[in-house]
Structure 1
Amino acid sequence: MMHPYDPRVRDFFGADERAHQSWAHLHKADQAWIRRIVLAGGDDPGVLSYPELQELTPDESRRRLRRLEDWYKAWPYVRTAQVKEVERHLATLPEPRPQVDDELLDVPLITGPPGTGKTRLLRRAAVRALCHAAWDRRLELEDSPAAADLLVDPDWRPVIYHSTDGNPIVKTFFTHLCHEIGVPAGVDPQDSFRSAVLRHGVQTIFIDEVQMINFDGQYGMYLHNAIKALQNMNVRVILAGHNVREMLVRRKTSAQNATQTQSIARWAFQDLERYPHQTKPQIDEWRRLLRALEGHLRLAGHEPNEPVFSAQFEEHLWVSTLGYMNALAALITGVCLTASRTKSQRVTAEIIDAVRLNERVARGRTKRLHSWRAGHINWASDASGAA
């Protein structure tokens, strides 16, 4: 059975000295969700030498390829300076305390262009919130065993992670929140969820993909009213979505402007942008980020700790991805999977160029690479004229 002795899980409990006991307080559904997020890559497949690879049977080769696919599709979390800043902000927020009267707090909203790593950051923040809530619950029960009687239902669910699907009205929004913790929505989903907050100890709700919600007029007002209703239940709300700031600025009608005014007044924007490659500190950090990814390589053609990405291909990778973290993860995953199928088991420029990427970075990619190889890239302008 999985427990926080796995260092990848244990890290999310911070300084908790008895993380395994805190882990036991989490609902099985939350434990499974944490495992799915944190342990997505499975076990380390290790590096095999050329002779060892040649000795594999077809079945063994197929099994290894599948393990490599799992491993490479779950790259280590890339923590840029921007990501660290957002993490620090979330870590300093007051701890939510259901059933205790609190002042309404600003709602953090992580925003920025697609591909900058918002969803992965939000999911990991939700995992950390779950683990810290479990730590607090263990301490509460140890300090006051009678506190257990305050919870009517033993299915304690302190954190909800919800990804918005389409453009919900308030009723469907609260119906989805009820379903996230297995509560019947009933005729009045908002009232049902209000009861569930107390019964199941809901403390924090993470809502992703909020750009899917129509911010025009009444829909935007409905969203604000729903979030305010959650805050009135003493639940902390944390949002994430693509280019939300720009969506609000483009509002034109009086109703839309009212939505914008309310948003700016109550939402604390946390912006993530694609990673720049202009100044020496930026280039140094880009290399450091690539260096961290090199520890995940499992190719026989490269020596342990060889600076493959950070030295041999650091400019190549930036020109190819324009600093979008999701594009970088997709590119390196594709590169390693392709290289693992070659005889040399080495990363090459040809393999990097052959991996397909999303349209945002694919547009103008060939032209950018040609200019870079010709020495015509203007780094000061971000080399991103086609982005």
Structure 2
Amino acid sequence: MRAGHQLHLLEGGGELFPAMVRAIERARHLVHVETYIFEFAGAALQVAEALERCALRGVTVRLVVDGIGTARLPQSWRERLERAGVQCRVYLPLGHLGLLIPSRWRRLHRKLCVVDGLQGFCGGINLIDDLDDVSLGRLERPRLDFALQVSGPLVADMLETMEQLWWRMQAVSRARQHEFRAAWEAWRAGWPALPLDHSPPGRKASPTAAALLLRDNLRHRHDIERAYLRSIARARHEILIANAYFIPGRKLHRALTLAAARGVRVRLLLHGKYEHFLQYHAARTAYRRLLEAGIEIHEYAPSALHAKVAVVDASWATVGSTNLDPLSLLMAREANVVTRDPAFARGLRQRLDHLLQTAGVRIEHEQLRLRPWRLRLFDRVAYAIMRAMLWLLGHRY
């Protein structure tokens, strides 16, 4: 971790989207956005319109969306963005065979935005209205999710990883068109030289230490998982995790149960709404063992939970796009910011504690035991399917 950062926690699109728009409106050189879902409707339209205005004034604007999360940009908006000069790319379009090709299970799940190399945004919030859900439809209450607005040295790391992916996508596209020389040039291409003085004028550098952690299918396969495991192993008092899709593997399950065994209070705030058969039912196979280990499980009741945050001992915290399930930890491109800043960690811990007490429904062991046999069978079937899929990909989890 390096010092010199300012971290501002944003809750939901209601806080993230206006902050992104303000930063985009001040852009002078480059705006680069990556997201899994971009829904051109509702509150997310303000971000699309800001990108359009930014490109029209001559700023380089790049947008990358995932080929499943945003399978198709609306034709009207694609044309508007192209006319404005926004460069749009789709990561791994499914094609005719879709998910029958296992390599296409590897998705772009991270949510990043960098403006001029000076301001960055990282978290779990997709560019979709807080009251819209692709699986649950229109929500009565806003979705619970978090992101960070960041300034400091790690913004350069965010920009570097985004630009590397951008030029690799360019190279692959050229190669598929048999333009091999252009593909080689795209692969080797650099990115615009940007100012990297992260200290606001007249203000001393912040002591806040933070780092950007990535998960990809090359050099950073296990970085985020290892960061979780290290922080859990060092916990002495409390572990708080809010995570949408929680299916812990052997290592994470063991780390949590060992922490509980040495007296650490472990509390989980998880997504309780039914969205997908596999994720919903496979997650519940872990509940019984976790409860037997003394770990508290709460399901978020008011609405959908999409958060991916954690706090350990009110001194270590992470905010990002990574679910604690095999899709995120083994296959998807993810990005998390981690920090050891006590003030930030205490603030996030206070928010999560409040949510657990006021919006979480605690799951008890007896409640699981009394679930209908049909649901318990679904749990086992979903878990078996998940393990079979991982076996096909050659993964142990």
TM-score by structure 2 length?
Answer: 0.23
Higher strand share goes to which structure? 2
Higher helix share goes to which structure? 1
| Structure exhibiting the larger radius of gyration computed from Cα positions | 1
